[in-house]
Amino acid sequence: MIAVLQRVHSAMVSFDGESVGKCGYGLMIMLGVAADDDESDARTLIDKILKLRIFRDGDGKLNLSVKDVGGDVLVISNFTLMANCYRGTRPDYSNAAHRDVSLPLYEYFIDEVNRRGVHAEHGQFGERMTIDTKMDGPVIITLDSRHLPRK
Q: What is the pLDDT of residues 44-88, one digit of tens each?
A: 999 999 999 999 999 999 999 999 999 999 999 999 999 999 999
**CA 9 – CA 140 distance, rounded (Å):** 13
**CA 110 – CA 115 distance, rounded (Å):** 9
Please say whether the dihedral angle defined by the alpha carbons of residues 136, 139, 143 and 147, taken in this order, is positive or negative.
negative
Does residue 109 come out as left (phi exceeding 0), alpha (psi in the -120 to 50 range) or beta? alpha
What's the pLDDT score for residue 150? Answer: 85
DSSP 107: H
Let me know: does 38 contact 57? Beta carbons within 8 Å. no
Q: Is the predicted pLDDT of residue 151 greater than 80, yes or no?
A: no
Banded model confidence at residue 110, pLDDT cuts 50, 70, 90: very high
- The pTM score is 0.95
Average pLDDT for 29-47 = 98
